[in-house]
Chains A and B, each alone.
Chain A
Amino acid sequence: MSAIPNPIPIFADENWRLPSRGRVAMFCLIIGESAIFTIFVVAYIYYIGRSAYGPTPQILDVPWFNTVCLLSSSITIMFAERAIEHGRIRIFAAFWALTMLLGIVFLAGTAIEWKRLIYTDGLTIRTNLFGTTFYSLVGLHATHVIVGLLMLSLVMIFTLAGRVEQRHTERIQVLSLYWHFVDAVWVVVFTVVYMLGK
């Protein structure tokens, strides 16, 4: 047992700065999600060429338009971040909406592609190894896009209701970090599925 005397501040440092917890948390989430994607990508790569029957990656059309849309949305979200950093909420809202639009176009394009694959080419998740790995990997990515869009639309609603201000910049930056991650994953998925696999 001991008695503690009055605590005397014995260390003073005016420059005590710590990273923002939101940023740290989002980085950690991205690391975890990257691990999940890595497993699905590894499965995809391992099973390339191993389908004994059924459609092969030759039937895929490279989704250039979708990709351009999604990657551009990273640029537009960057402009949105700049805007809110400088307090320009109207411009922020415009770029934010544009980002969402590009994301929705991407999803629509994916849906159209899948419809063709399923009904015209007869490729489903259970058809063969290619179908299994294709739909699960691209589908996992699309799910992340959907979740991202949900978060983006929440912010959109708050913005339209006039509740978003310059002081929320950091939260916006954390969220766009997630969006950039989703786009970066698409670069990997695109390369592996449409370039490597074909």
Chain B
Amino acid sequence: MADQTFPLPGTLDASRSRGAALLEWLHSWVVTVDHKKLGILYIAYALVFLLVAGAEAIAIRIQLAIPHNHFLSPELYNEFFTMHGTTMVFLVGMTIIFGFGNYLVPLMIGARDMAFPRLNAFSFWMSAFGGLFLYFSFIGGFGLYGMGSAPDVTWWAYAPLTAKAFSPGHNTDYWALALIVMGFGTLGAAINTLATAFSMRCRGMTLLRMPLFVWLMVVTSGLTLITITPLTAAQVMLIIDRYLGAHFFDTQAGGSATVWMHFFWIFGHPEVYVLILPAFGIASEVIPVFSRKAIFGYPAMVAASVGIAFVSTSVWAHHMFTIGMTSVSNSFFVLSTMTVGIPTGIKIFNWVATMWGGKIRFATPMLFCTAFVFQFLCAGLTGIMLASAPWNWQLHNSYFVIAHFHYTLTGSFVFCMFAGIYYWYPKFTGRILSEKLGKWHFWLFFIGFHVTFDTMHFLGIMGMPRSIYTYEPDRGWNTLNFIVSAGGIVQAIAVLILVWNMVDSYLHGPVAGNDPWDAWTLEWSIPSPPPAYNFATEPVVRSRRPLWDLKHPNDPDWKYER
């Protein structure tokens, strides 16, 4: 419909009824192959499920706020925490990164669309369907104990708990099948991103002139190809076990529970890097612009990203230090896990060096990114602690681990996604999000986050394991659990403020113009929101910051870049 991503229904053609216009508008979203609309669909889908999984988290925290609580039955609790994890990783994490990737990669490389627009649409709808199928499990069938059939085997679904003998209902089936379907969507998105970045860059944009966000999406997509596929394979094996009587993970017939663990974590560990790398990409775009400096050490950042992707495929068994591997194997995984901290640390140093000597404007995107750097540092350090296998023997499957990965996922990934939302919302919609509400969102979320997750570290140290629907009142965990839960409520309020901000600013926010942040990459050279064709003429670039070159013709980047 016309040139804009977001025409309001009924405003363009006064002669048609509002109903017909609305239908046509909705239809355009369903059949679209435009990367911008698909990007928005992905992000909207992710935000909806962020609220859903967040609600699950709040329910979990209410249940755990006091010992021996009866807010959730054991079965429902097990379903909620399994679904919380599964939803956050797959329906929120994977979708939002490909949402941002879809929207921004073509724009940042001066292309008209993704390499395969129809594959793009197919990938989105596959992922969307998979997620809805997963949630259908809450109402599909009676399930065990009458609580629906939502997956209740933890998000890592260890065998043989998932065998038909121990999970006779359909819970596990929903988990495996939904994720297999979503996996195909993810694979399509990854292939599309790689083909786009390699084959559709505008003239002059060599690989080493691509914005770091594009680089990180490329590395992420490459990693995805060999990350999601092991999960798909393992889940197919699980389905074959459950329905064709096979014995892959059937310990009664000589099958191996540890083989599932290896296969799952060969997926599971690189998966968290698949999630965090695009977040790094967002930070690498926001921090330079708001520090008013080029990113420090671009080639090192590229090398570190590729290095992280490679090393991350060798660390998986640090999730399995307690299963009885030999001391030599354990030592190897200690070394590989600590090694992956090196390129990750380098990135942190480069961000700080970018800010050094700058003129930092603490608008909302930069607030989130600064907090991200701090929190990611902490997460990396608790990661080093967990990498130390003996310490891991104590901390594995305790609340310390939950604290660590929420520091990486909430404290780093979500903070960067929020930064990305505040930063690119003007480009997507033509309006700027309210700074005032943004700051309320930031501070409330920051405080709530730290109240919850700082406290959780101590619970782990005090011996509280994870995946438990209640705990004994005489273990000294009561007060801390209550504090953790309180922090969760604060975070929920903060997220609701964001939702309100997004809706209200769309209707009443200040108009953005092409380039509200005075930024330097190609997406800021076109209107907000961009026309359907993106660029009227193909851009030609000579450096990593084409708009810097245009704004500073006496001092362009290409004179200094190496």
Contact = CB atoms under 8 A, between A and B. Distances in A.
Partners in one complex: yes
A72 interface: no
Contacts of B525: 4, 7
A46 B227 CA distance: 20
A35 B230 contact: yes
Contacts of B212: none
A25 B194 contact: yes
A46 B549 CA distance: 57
A46 B260 CA distance: 12
Interface stretch (A98-106, A125-133, A151-159): A125-133
A58 interface: no
Residue of A32, A43, A46, A51 with most chain B CB atoms under a 10 A cut-off: A32
A168 interface: no
A40 B246 CA distance: 13
Given A2-B551, A40-B233, A35 B225 contact: yes
Contacts of B228: 32
Interface string A33-72: 1011011100100110011100000000000000000000
A129 B196 CA distance: 43
Given A35-B225, A35-B229, A132 B191 contact: no
A43 B264 CA distance: 13
A129 B344 CA distance: 41
Nearest to B247: A132
A126 B116 contact: no
Nearest to B514: A4
Interface size class, chain A: 35 or more
B322 interface: no
Contacts of B247: 126, 128-129, 132
Contacts of A125: 240, 244-246
A52 B255 CA distance: 10
Interface in A6-43: 7, 9-13, 16, 18-22, 24-25, 28-29, 31-33, 35-36, 38-40, 43
Given A10-B549, A11-B542, A132 B518 contact: no
Interface of B: 115-116, 187, 190-192, 194-196, 198-201, 203-204, 221-222, 225-230, 232-234, 236-237, 240, 244-248, 253-256, 259, 263, 266, 513-516, 518, 525, 537, 539-542, 547, 549-551, 553
28 contacts: A1-B516, A2-B518, A7-B540, A10-B542, A13-B204, A18-B198, A19-B199, A20-B199, A21-B200, A24-B198, A25-B116, A25-B192, A25-B195, A28-B195, A28-B222, A31-B225, A31-B226, A35-B230, A35-B233, A38-B230, A39-B263, A40-B233, A47-B254, A52-B254, A126-B245, A129-B247, A132-B248, A136-B240
Given A21-B195, A28-B190, 19 more contacts: A2-B551, A7-B539, A7-B540, A11-B204, A19-B199, A24-B199, A25-B116, A28-B191, A32-B187, A35-B227, A40-B233, A46-B259, A47-B254, A129-B253, A132-B246, A132-B255, A133-B248, A136-B236, A136-B240
